[in-house]
Amino acid sequence: MSSRFARSLTILMLGLTLLTFLGTRAYADGIEPNFENEKSSIDKDGNMRLELSASLNAPEAKVYEALTNPEKLSKYAAEITSVKVLSNSATGKVVEYHGATGINPGTKPLVVKFTFDPSKQTITAESTASALVKFHADYVLSPSKDGKSTEIRYVSVSADPSKAMGTKVPEFMRKGAGINTFMKTLWTVGQYIQHGGK
């Protein structure tokens, strides 16, 4: 890949990320995420670890409720055309998504296993055995001092998608996709809360 092409692609990705963020601010005024402490690394097997944190202007209980209802959050994601809960318990759900999710290349639905721990206020999302690209993501919540907002620590580990995509995927694109996933999730959480948990 030429450096000129890579530079153009970087500018495009940054522009798309900025547009997503501006769109988020426009539609979720009272629940604005603030991003900080971004870190990323790739191990010898090509797995990318991404660490992000954000502050969401909503109480911890409401943010936790939203993240433990992923099938309801999906109604605010335009790229998801339908969703089905395959299993449901007090400690987790398995959810099947249809549409251009961007996580599972090809035509197969994306199946995600969610695990909840209310005592630690954590939510884990991970790929199932059928996924073309393996991933694992943890959301760890903690309340602000005044209890009016929520600090969210996000750590994800994802496999190299190059084989599934049929082309080499540069690190900056993988990182951009990971940041975009986190931003979109926070946006859907904000929408869910603003619409009264519906």
101/145: higher pLDDT: 145
Predicted confidence (pLDDT) per residue in 173-194, tens digit: 999 989 989 989 999 999 999 9
Mean pLDDT score of the chain? 82
Residue 40 has pLDDT above 50, yes or no: yes
Predicted confidence (pLDDT) per residue in 96-127, tens digit: 998 864 544 456 788 999 999 999 999 999 99
Residue 62's pLDDT band (cuts 50, 70, 90): very high
pTM greater than the 0.75 cutoff: yes
Residue 31's pLDDT band (cuts 50, 70, 90): low
Residue 135 has pLDDT above 90, yes or no: yes
Residue 20 has pLDDT above 50, yes or no: no
34/91: higher pLDDT: 91
Torsion sign over Cα 54, 57, 61, 67: negative
CATH of residue 45's domain is: 3.30.530.20
Identify the pLDDT of residue 102: 52
CA distance 132 to 111: 11
CA distances from 18 to 15, 35, 103, 179 (A): 5, 13, 20, 11
Total domain count for the chain?
1
The whole domain housing 83 covers 3-194
Given the structure tokens 């996933």, which residue do they identify?
181
Torsions phi, psi for 93 (to 5 deg): -145, 155
Spatial CA neighbour of 185 closest among 54, 88, 59, 93: 54
Identify the pLDDT of residue 153: 94
